[in-house]
Amino acid sequence: MLEEMVEHQQVKVLKVARGIIPDATPEDIRNPQDFPELSSDSLFNYEDGILTGYLSLQIALRNLNKA
């Protein structure tokens, strides 16, 4: 279920990014600091923050399962 949430949020973040930069790629959203238009957009930062939280949770759960 978490994987689905991550994938959904990645699509959402890319959609928001493409509303700002039409030819944005998935790689671009992993490096938004390279694009001042993305870095300064509050909606992009909000959605990207949610994605970052999901990814952090995913990493924590994977590490927990390894222990």
Please tell me the distance from the alpha carbon of residue 7 to that of residue 13, in angstroms, as a whole number: 10
Neighbours of 27 (CB within 10 A): 8
How do the domains of the chain map onto residue ranges?
2-66
Smallest Cα–Cα separation from 63: which of 46, 48, 55? 55
Smallest Cα–Cα separation from 28: which of 15, 42, 14? 14
7-60: pLDDT as tens digits: 999 999 999 999 999 999 999 999 999 999 999 999 999 999 999 999 999 999
Write down the pLDDT at residue 65. Answer: 80
- pTM of the predicted structure, to 2 decimals: 0.90
